[in-house]
Structure 1
Protein backbone atom coordinates (compact mmCIF):
# COMPACT_ATOMS: atom_id res chain seq x y z
CA UNK A 1 0.00 0.00 0.00
CA UNK A 2 1.26 3.46 -0.87
CA UNK A 3 0.01 6.39 1.23
CA UNK A 4 -1.40 9.28 -0.80
CA UNK A 5 -2.22 11.54 2.15
CA UNK A 6 -3.24 11.20 5.80
CA UNK A 7 -6.59 9.59 4.86
CA UNK A 8 -5.96 7.64 1.64
CA UNK A 9 -3.72 4.90 0.28
CA UNK A 10 -3.27 3.37 -3.15
CA UNK A 11 -3.13 -0.40 -3.56
CA UNK A 12 -3.63 -3.04 -6.21
CA UNK A 13 -7.15 -4.40 -6.43
CA UNK A 14 -7.58 -7.69 -4.56
CA UNK A 15 -9.97 -10.57 -4.20
CA UNK A 16 -12.85 -9.56 -1.92
CA UNK A 17 -13.04 -5.93 -3.12
CA UNK A 18 -16.34 -6.52 -4.94
CA UNK A 19 -18.65 -5.31 -2.17
CA UNK A 20 -16.63 -2.14 -1.49
CA UNK A 21 -16.40 -1.42 -5.23
CA UNK A 22 -20.16 -1.88 -5.60
CA UNK A 23 -20.74 0.61 -2.75
CA UNK A 24 -18.32 3.08 -4.34
CA UNK A 25 -19.86 2.81 -7.79
CA UNK A 26 -23.41 3.04 -6.43
CA UNK A 27 -22.55 6.12 -4.34
CA UNK A 28 -20.95 7.75 -7.40
CA UNK A 29 -23.39 6.59 -10.07
CA UNK A 30 -24.65 10.08 -10.95
CA UNK A 31 -21.19 11.64 -10.56
CA UNK A 32 -19.58 9.17 -13.00
CA UNK A 33 -22.43 8.90 -15.51
CA UNK A 34 -21.28 11.80 -17.75
CA UNK A 35 -17.74 10.34 -17.96
CA UNK A 36 -18.32 6.61 -18.43
CA UNK A 37 -20.16 4.16 -20.68
CA UNK A 38 -23.78 3.44 -19.87
CA UNK A 39 -23.94 0.85 -17.10
CA UNK A 40 -26.56 -1.85 -16.60
CA UNK A 41 -28.02 -2.12 -13.10
CA UNK A 42 -26.12 -5.34 -12.38
CA UNK A 43 -22.82 -3.42 -12.75
CA UNK A 44 -23.53 -1.87 -9.33
CA UNK A 45 -23.84 -5.20 -7.51
CA UNK A 46 -21.20 -6.83 -5.32
CA UNK A 47 -21.41 -10.02 -7.40
CA UNK A 48 -20.67 -8.25 -10.67
CA UNK A 49 -17.87 -6.22 -9.13
CA UNK A 50 -16.29 -9.34 -7.68
CA UNK A 51 -16.43 -10.94 -11.15
CA UNK A 52 -14.62 -7.87 -12.48
CA UNK A 53 -12.05 -8.19 -9.68
CA UNK A 54 -11.38 -11.78 -10.76
CA UNK A 55 -10.83 -10.61 -14.35
CA UNK A 56 -8.48 -7.89 -13.07
CA UNK A 57 -6.43 -10.54 -11.27
CA UNK A 58 -6.26 -12.65 -14.45
CA UNK A 59 -5.03 -9.56 -16.33
CA UNK A 60 -2.34 -8.89 -13.70
CA UNK A 61 -1.15 -12.49 -13.93
CA UNK A 62 -0.97 -12.18 -17.73
CA UNK A 63 0.71 -8.75 -17.56
CA UNK A 64 -2.16 -7.15 -19.55
CA UNK A 65 -3.47 -4.73 -16.93
CA UNK A 66 -2.99 -3.43 -13.41
CA UNK A 67 -5.95 -2.01 -11.49
CA UNK A 68 -5.58 0.01 -8.31
CA UNK A 69 -8.04 1.31 -5.76
CA UNK A 70 -7.82 4.38 -3.60
CA UNK A 71 -8.81 3.27 -0.13
CA UNK A 72 -9.72 5.67 2.65
CA UNK A 73 -8.75 5.09 6.25
CA UNK A 74 -12.27 3.77 6.97
CA UNK A 75 -11.65 0.91 4.51
CA UNK A 76 -13.95 2.25 1.79
CA UNK A 77 -12.91 2.59 -1.85
CA UNK A 78 -12.80 6.22 -2.97
CA UNK A 79 -11.52 5.83 -6.51
CA UNK A 80 -9.84 3.66 -9.12
CA UNK A 81 -6.75 4.01 -11.26
CA UNK A 82 -6.30 1.56 -14.11
CA UNK A 83 -3.46 0.62 -16.41
CA UNK A 84 -5.23 -1.13 -19.28
CA UNK A 85 -4.02 -2.76 -22.48
CA UNK A 86 -0.37 -3.15 -21.51
CA UNK A 87 1.57 -3.80 -24.71
CA UNK A 88 5.19 -4.94 -24.80
CA UNK A 89 7.21 -5.76 -27.92
CA UNK A 90 8.21 -2.59 -29.75
CA UNK A 91 5.57 -0.46 -27.97
CA UNK A 92 5.96 -0.85 -24.16
CA UNK A 93 2.88 1.26 -23.52
CA UNK A 94 -0.40 1.27 -21.59
CA UNK A 95 -3.63 3.25 -21.29
CA UNK A 96 -4.33 5.12 -18.05
CA UNK A 97 -7.82 5.70 -16.68
CA UNK A 98 -9.10 6.88 -13.31
CA UNK A 99 -11.98 8.25 -11.29
CA UNK A 100 -12.32 9.80 -7.84
CA UNK A 101 -15.27 9.72 -5.44
CA UNK A 102 -17.41 12.85 -5.78
CA UNK A 103 -16.82 13.71 -2.12
CA UNK A 104 -13.02 13.64 -2.64
CA UNK A 105 -12.57 15.76 -5.77
CA UNK A 106 -10.61 19.03 -5.90
CA UNK A 107 -8.23 17.93 -3.12
CA UNK A 108 -5.30 16.79 -5.26
CA UNK A 109 -6.08 13.13 -4.60
CA UNK A 110 -6.33 12.23 -8.30
CA UNK A 111 -3.02 13.92 -9.03
CA UNK A 112 -1.22 12.08 -6.25
CA UNK A 113 -2.72 8.75 -7.30
CA UNK A 114 -1.86 9.28 -10.97
CA UNK A 115 1.71 10.23 -10.02
CA UNK A 116 2.04 7.05 -7.95
CA UNK A 117 0.77 4.87 -10.79
CA UNK A 118 3.05 6.61 -13.29
CA UNK A 119 5.94 5.80 -10.95
CA UNK A 120 4.78 2.15 -10.77
CA UNK A 121 4.53 1.95 -14.57
CA UNK A 122 8.10 3.13 -14.91
CA UNK A 123 9.86 1.51 -11.96
CA UNK A 124 7.95 -1.80 -11.75
CA UNK A 125 6.68 -2.40 -15.28
CA UNK A 126 9.53 -0.60 -17.09
CA UNK A 127 7.10 0.85 -19.62
CA UNK A 128 8.14 3.51 -22.12
CA UNK A 129 4.84 5.37 -22.53
CA UNK A 130 1.47 5.97 -20.93
CA UNK A 131 -1.53 7.29 -22.83
CA UNK A 132 -4.70 8.82 -21.43
CA UNK A 133 -7.80 10.28 -23.03
CA UNK A 134 -10.29 12.79 -21.67
CA UNK A 135 -13.54 14.13 -22.96
CA UNK A 136 -12.88 17.47 -24.64
CA UNK A 137 -14.80 19.35 -21.91
CA UNK A 138 -13.21 17.50 -18.94
CA UNK A 139 -10.86 20.29 -17.91
CA UNK A 140 -10.33 18.92 -14.38
CA UNK A 141 -8.95 15.64 -15.71
CA UNK A 142 -6.82 17.47 -18.26
CA UNK A 143 -5.29 19.47 -15.41
CA UNK A 144 -4.53 16.27 -13.46
CA UNK A 145 -2.75 14.82 -16.47
CA UNK A 146 -0.85 18.01 -17.22
CA UNK A 147 0.32 18.24 -13.61
CA UNK A 148 1.53 14.63 -13.84
CA UNK A 149 3.72 15.44 -16.85
CA UNK A 150 1.40 14.32 -19.64
CA UNK A 151 1.30 16.35 -22.85
CA UNK A 152 -1.57 16.60 -25.29
CA UNK A 153 -0.79 14.80 -28.53
CA UNK A 154 -4.03 15.07 -30.46
CA UNK A 155 -7.77 14.78 -30.73
CA UNK A 156 -9.66 11.58 -31.41
CA UNK A 157 -13.08 12.19 -32.97
CA UNK A 158 -15.86 9.90 -31.72
CA UNK A 159 -13.22 8.00 -29.72
CA UNK A 160 -15.33 6.32 -27.02
CA UNK A 161 -19.03 5.71 -26.42
CA UNK A 162 -19.56 7.69 -23.23
CA UNK A 163 -22.95 8.37 -21.65
CA UNK A 164 -24.56 6.66 -24.63
CA UNK A 165 -22.91 8.78 -27.35
CA UNK A 166 -19.72 8.57 -29.39
CA UNK A 167 -17.71 11.48 -28.04
CA UNK A 168 -14.53 13.28 -29.04
CA UNK A 169 -11.54 12.99 -26.73
CA UNK A 170 -8.24 14.75 -26.26
CA UNK A 171 -5.28 12.36 -26.21
CA UNK A 172 -2.35 12.73 -23.82
CA UNK A 173 0.88 10.84 -23.33
CA UNK A 174 3.78 10.70 -20.96
CA UNK A 175 7.10 9.27 -22.04
CA UNK A 176 8.86 7.55 -19.14
CA UNK A 177 12.22 6.48 -20.61
Structure 2
Protein backbone atom coordinates (compact mmCIF):
# COMPACT_ATOMS: atom_id res chain seq x y z
CA UNK A 1 0.00 0.00 0.00
CA UNK A 2 1.51 3.33 -1.03
CA UNK A 3 0.71 6.29 1.22
CA UNK A 4 1.74 9.73 -0.03
CA UNK A 5 2.89 12.42 2.40
CA UNK A 6 1.09 15.74 2.26
CA UNK A 7 0.93 19.10 3.99
CA UNK A 8 -1.91 19.64 6.46
CA UNK A 9 -0.66 23.15 7.35
CA UNK A 10 2.06 25.48 6.06
CA UNK A 11 4.54 23.99 8.51
CA UNK A 12 3.15 20.49 9.22
CA UNK A 13 3.28 17.39 7.01
CA UNK A 14 1.22 14.22 7.44
CA UNK A 15 3.33 11.18 6.58
CA UNK A 16 3.66 7.47 7.19
CA UNK A 17 5.34 6.45 10.44
CA UNK A 18 8.91 5.14 10.05
CA UNK A 19 11.34 3.21 12.26
CA UNK A 20 13.40 6.38 12.60
CA UNK A 21 10.52 8.08 14.46
CA UNK A 22 11.02 6.32 17.81
CA UNK A 23 13.11 9.10 19.34
CA UNK A 24 10.84 11.90 18.14
CA UNK A 25 7.77 10.00 19.35
CA UNK A 26 9.36 9.44 22.74
CA UNK A 27 10.01 13.19 23.00
CA UNK A 28 6.49 14.08 21.80
CA UNK A 29 4.73 11.71 24.19
CA UNK A 30 6.92 12.84 27.09
CA UNK A 31 6.29 16.52 26.33
CA UNK A 32 2.52 15.94 25.96
CA UNK A 33 2.10 13.44 28.78
CA UNK A 34 -0.14 15.64 30.97
CA UNK A 35 -2.03 16.99 27.95
CA UNK A 36 -2.90 13.49 26.67
CA UNK A 37 -3.49 11.79 30.01
CA UNK A 38 -7.28 12.47 30.24
CA UNK A 39 -7.83 11.02 26.76
CA UNK A 40 -5.58 7.95 26.70
CA UNK A 41 -5.01 4.69 28.56
CA UNK A 42 -2.56 4.79 31.44
CA UNK A 43 0.87 4.12 30.03
CA UNK A 44 3.77 2.27 31.66
CA UNK A 45 6.96 4.31 32.09
CA UNK A 46 8.55 2.27 29.29
CA UNK A 47 6.03 3.75 26.81
CA UNK A 48 7.74 7.14 27.10
CA UNK A 49 11.23 5.80 26.34
CA UNK A 50 12.91 5.52 22.96
CA UNK A 51 13.03 1.72 23.36
CA UNK A 52 9.33 1.64 24.25
CA UNK A 53 8.46 3.70 21.20
CA UNK A 54 10.78 1.62 19.01
CA UNK A 55 8.84 -1.49 20.05
CA UNK A 56 5.50 0.26 19.47
CA UNK A 57 6.59 1.55 16.04
CA UNK A 58 7.74 -1.94 15.01
CA UNK A 59 4.33 -3.32 15.97
CA UNK A 60 2.47 -0.63 14.03
CA UNK A 61 4.66 -1.17 10.98
CA UNK A 62 4.00 -4.94 11.13
CA UNK A 63 0.27 -4.15 11.18
CA UNK A 64 0.74 -1.80 8.23
CA UNK A 65 2.60 -4.50 6.28
CA UNK A 66 -0.23 -6.93 7.05
CA UNK A 67 -2.82 -4.40 5.83
CA UNK A 68 -4.54 -4.03 9.21
CA UNK A 69 -3.38 -0.50 10.14
CA UNK A 70 -2.20 2.78 8.61
CA UNK A 71 -0.04 4.72 11.12
CA UNK A 72 0.69 8.35 10.26
CA UNK A 73 2.44 11.18 12.10
CA UNK A 74 2.22 14.97 11.94
CA UNK A 75 5.75 16.30 11.44
CA UNK A 76 6.52 19.98 11.98
CA UNK A 77 9.02 21.82 9.78
CA UNK A 78 11.54 21.67 12.63
CA UNK A 79 11.36 17.84 12.58
CA UNK A 80 9.29 17.43 15.76
CA UNK A 81 6.36 15.05 15.76
CA UNK A 82 3.34 17.08 16.85
CA UNK A 83 0.58 14.51 16.50
CA UNK A 84 -0.48 11.20 15.06
CA UNK A 85 -3.47 9.60 13.40
CA UNK A 86 -3.92 5.89 12.85
CA UNK A 87 -6.42 3.70 11.07
CA UNK A 88 -6.63 0.44 13.03
CA UNK A 89 -8.67 -2.73 12.87
CA UNK A 90 -8.93 -2.59 9.10
CA UNK A 91 -11.47 -5.18 8.07
CA UNK A 92 -12.17 -6.33 4.53
CA UNK A 93 -15.08 -8.23 3.05
CA UNK A 94 -18.65 -7.25 3.84
CA UNK A 95 -17.65 -4.97 6.76
CA UNK A 96 -14.91 -3.04 4.88
CA UNK A 97 -14.26 -0.70 7.79
CA UNK A 98 -11.65 0.65 10.23
CA UNK A 99 -11.36 2.75 13.36
CA UNK A 100 -9.55 6.08 13.43
CA UNK A 101 -7.79 7.62 16.43
CA UNK A 102 -5.67 10.75 16.62
CA UNK A 103 -3.96 13.24 18.91
CA UNK A 104 -2.44 16.70 18.51
CA UNK A 105 0.32 18.21 20.66
CA UNK A 106 -0.69 20.79 23.25
CA UNK A 107 1.25 23.59 21.52
CA UNK A 108 -0.45 22.82 18.17
CA UNK A 109 -4.09 22.95 19.32
CA UNK A 110 -6.68 25.09 17.51
CA UNK A 111 -4.78 25.19 14.22
CA UNK A 112 -7.06 22.83 12.29
CA UNK A 113 -4.48 20.03 12.21
CA UNK A 114 -6.84 17.33 13.50
CA UNK A 115 -9.51 18.20 10.96
CA UNK A 116 -7.03 18.34 8.08
CA UNK A 117 -5.56 14.98 9.11
CA UNK A 118 -8.98 13.32 9.52
CA UNK A 119 -10.07 14.55 6.08
CA UNK A 120 -6.82 13.24 4.53
CA UNK A 121 -7.15 9.88 6.28
CA UNK A 122 -10.71 9.56 4.98
CA UNK A 123 -9.34 10.03 1.44
CA UNK A 124 -6.63 7.43 2.08
CA UNK A 125 -9.17 5.01 3.56
CA UNK A 126 -11.47 5.39 0.55
CA UNK A 127 -9.01 5.76 -2.34
CA UNK A 128 -5.97 3.75 -1.23
CA UNK A 129 -7.27 1.21 1.30
CA UNK A 130 -10.70 0.86 -0.34
CA UNK A 131 -12.80 1.07 2.82
CA UNK A 132 -16.56 1.68 2.92
CA UNK A 133 -16.65 3.37 6.34
CA UNK A 134 -14.59 4.67 9.24
CA UNK A 135 -15.62 4.60 12.88
CA UNK A 136 -14.38 6.90 15.64
CA UNK A 137 -15.08 7.13 19.35
CA UNK A 138 -14.66 9.98 21.81
CA UNK A 139 -15.14 10.28 25.53
CA UNK A 140 -18.50 11.89 26.22
CA UNK A 141 -16.83 15.12 27.37
CA UNK A 142 -14.39 15.43 24.46
CA UNK A 143 -16.40 18.10 22.67
CA UNK A 144 -13.42 19.38 20.68
CA UNK A 145 -12.88 15.99 19.03
CA UNK A 146 -16.62 15.62 18.46
CA UNK A 147 -16.61 18.96 16.61
CA UNK A 148 -13.65 17.81 14.48
CA UNK A 149 -15.47 14.63 13.52
CA UNK A 150 -18.72 16.47 12.72
CA UNK A 151 -16.87 18.97 10.49
CA UNK A 152 -15.27 16.01 8.68
CA UNK A 153 -18.60 14.39 7.84
CA UNK A 154 -18.85 11.88 10.69
CA UNK A 155 -22.30 11.23 12.10
CA UNK A 156 -23.10 10.11 15.64
CA UNK A 157 -24.29 6.50 15.77
CA UNK A 158 -24.71 5.96 19.49
CA UNK A 159 -23.22 5.79 22.93
CA UNK A 160 -21.22 2.85 24.23
CA UNK A 161 -21.15 2.43 28.02
CA UNK A 162 -17.78 1.55 29.55
CA UNK A 163 -16.31 1.33 26.05
CA UNK A 164 -12.64 2.24 26.63
CA UNK A 165 -10.27 2.02 29.59
CA UNK A 166 -8.98 5.60 29.71
CA UNK A 167 -6.88 7.20 32.45
CA UNK A 168 -7.49 4.27 34.77
CA UNK A 169 -11.27 3.87 34.38
CA UNK A 170 -13.76 2.29 31.98
CA UNK A 171 -15.33 5.27 30.20
CA UNK A 172 -18.51 5.82 28.25
CA UNK A 173 -17.91 6.92 24.66
CA UNK A 174 -19.85 8.55 21.89
CA UNK A 175 -19.52 6.62 18.61
CA UNK A 176 -19.33 8.18 15.15
CA UNK A 177 -19.03 6.89 11.61
CA UNK A 178 -18.43 8.27 8.16
CA UNK A 179 -19.58 6.39 5.09
CA UNK A 180 -16.92 6.81 2.41
CA UNK A 181 -18.65 5.19 -0.60
CA UNK A 182 -21.33 2.68 -1.51
CA UNK A 183 -19.40 0.49 -3.96
CA UNK A 184 -19.58 -3.28 -3.50
CA UNK A 185 -16.75 -4.67 -1.38
CA UNK A 186 -14.03 -6.84 -2.87
CA UNK A 187 -14.70 -10.27 -1.36
Range class of TM-score, shorter chain: over 0.9
Is 2:83 aligned against 1:79? yes
Is 2:36 aligned against 1:27? no
Normalised to the residue count of structure 1, the TM-score between the two structures is: 0.99
Q: CA deviation at 1:16?
A: 1.1
Q: Specify the alignment match of 2:170 in structure 1.
A: 166
Q: Whole-Å Cα distance in 1 between the matches of residues 8 and 94 of structure 2?
A: 33
Aligned CA-pair RMSD: 0.5
Q: CA deviation at 1:2?
A: 0.4
Q: Specify the alignment match of 1:90 in structure 2.
A: 94
Residues 28-177 of structure 1 mapped to structure 2, 5 A cutoff: 28-177=32-181
Normalised to the residue count of structure 2, the TM-score between the two structures is: 0.94
Q: Specify the alignment match of 1:17 in structure 2.
A: 21
Q: Whole-Å Cα distance in 2 between the matches of residues 50 and 17 of structure 1?
A: 8
| Alpha-carbon displacement from aligned partner over 1:13-51 (angstroms, at most 9, x marks no partner) | 011110000000000000000000001111000111011
Displacement over 2 Å in runs of 4+: none
Q: CA deviation at 1:5?
A: 1.2
Q: CA deviation at 1:61?
A: 0.8
Q: CA deviation at 1:163?
A: 0.5
**Structure 1 residues without counterparts, runs of 5 or longer:** none
**Structure 2 residues without counterparts, runs of 5 or longer:** 182-187
**Residue 153 of structure 2 aligns to a residue in which SS?**
coil
**Residue 16 of structure 1 aligns to a residue in which SS?**
helix
Q: CA deviation at 1:66?
A: 0.7
Count of aligned pairs: 177
